Copies of this chain bind each other. A is one copy, B any other.
Amino acid sequence: PDVQSSHDERALPIEQVGIRGLRHPLMIRTKAGTFPAVGNFEMDVALPANVKGTHMSRFVALLQKQTEAIDSEVVVKMVREMLPLLNATEGRIQFSYTHFVKKAAPVSSVESLMDYEVTWIAKGKLLATGNVDVELNLRALVPVMSLCPCSKEISEYGAHNQRSHVTMSVALDSQTKMTVEDLVQAAESQASSELWGMLKRPDEKWVTERAYDNPKFVEDLVRDVAGQLKKDERILSLVVEAENFESIHNHSAYAKISLSK
């Protein structure tokens, strides 16, 4: 008895139904090569009012057969495949993972990896033509350093600074070749200083002085990052958030800008 496919009387369509918290090992493909990752997946479809349930195991099956290295093109392809598999006209694949970028320290040039939390969201919609239109969103959380302009201004020496999280969510044309590295660079270039996994003594001096020369409020962070992204034609809309884990308080300063183009 196929309980899930039986008729439903409640006249309530379901916007999203599927699975959450499914983890899967991945190789992530970048221009610089591939690296290992673990994806945390959400996969769901829209369910019409008259259908009782979806077929949960088909989401898992689709993911299990995925073996090639992943980039945005593969995600788009998976969404196109998911809709007919689930008999759905709309659906969504979201996955989060830790993205690593090899960076050279500013003075010594010693290399080390920096880690960023990245999420891809691909939403597919079946068109009357039979084609599937895919909307692609990329989100990256970039940890940076912020140094307080007010603290610098009023103090005879020093200035409080701290780790901050800049989170950018951008809608991309699905044809676009926007990379995670491009997005990360927009945030790092606008912070008081960017971070590195490994710094030698001359690098630490450079970072300390760079941040002191370049103070930013949480308001400056979101404005300067949004200003950068606004100029990028590959981005259709954007949300920029910044959270400063204030080193003088036990709470955060927070700011957010949304822009549609």
- Residue numbers of A with Cβ under 8 A of B are 1, 3-4, 8, 10, 12-27, 35-38, 42, 44, 47, 52-54, 56-57, 60-61, 64, 97-98, 100, 110-115, 143, 145, 147, 149-151, 153-163, 193, 195-201, 204-205, 207-209, 211-212, 217-220, 222-224, 226-227, 243, 245-258
Chain B residues within an 8 Å CB radius of A14 = 219, 222-223, 255-257
The answer to whether A114 touches B248 (Cβ under 8 A) is no
The reply to whether A8 and B223 form a contact with Cβ atoms under 8 Å apart is yes
Which chain B residues lie closer than 8 Å to A57 at the CB level?
198-200
Select from chain B the residue with minimum beta-carbon distance to A218. B17
A214 to B232, CA, bound (A): 44
Docked complex Cα distance between A15 and B222 (Å): 10
Residues of B within 8 A of A224 (CB): 10
Contact A159-B219, Cβ < 8 Å, known A20-B254, A37-B38? no
List B contacts of A208 (CB < 8 A).
Answer: 151, 154-155, 158-160, 248
Beyond contacts A17-B253, A25-B37, A195-B248: 10 other A-B pairs, Cβ-Cβ < 8 A, are A3-B217, A14-B257, A17-B255, A25-B113, A38-B97, A61-B198, A143-B250, A151-B204, A156-B205, A162-B163
Q: How far is the CA of A74 from the CA of B218 in the complex (A)?
A: 29
Please state if B247 and A20 are interface contacts (CB–CB under 8 Å): no
- A38-B37, A112-B64, A223-B10 in contact; A255/B198 too (CB < 8 A)? no
A3 shortest CB reach to chain B, Å: 5
How far apart sit A14 and B222, CA to CA, in the bound complex (Å)? 8
Say whether A249 contacts B64, CB under 8 Å: no
What is the CB-to-nearest-CB distance from A148 to chain B, in angstroms, rounded to a whole number?
A: 8
Asked if B25 and A248 make an inter-chain contact with CB atoms under 8 angstroms apart, the answer reads: no
Q: Which of B143, B223, B249 contacts A195 (CB 8 A)?
A: B249
Q: How far is the CA of A249 from the CA of B113 in the complex (A)?
A: 11
Q: How far is the CB of A109 from chain B (nearest CB, A)?
A: 13
- The residue on B at minimum CB distance from A112 is B64
List the B residue with the shortest CB-CB distance to A193.
B248
Contact among B36, B160, B250 for A211, CB-based, below 8 A: B160
Residues of B within 8 A of A252 (CB): 19-21
Q: In the docked arrangement, what's the CA distance between A211 and B148, Å?
A: 14
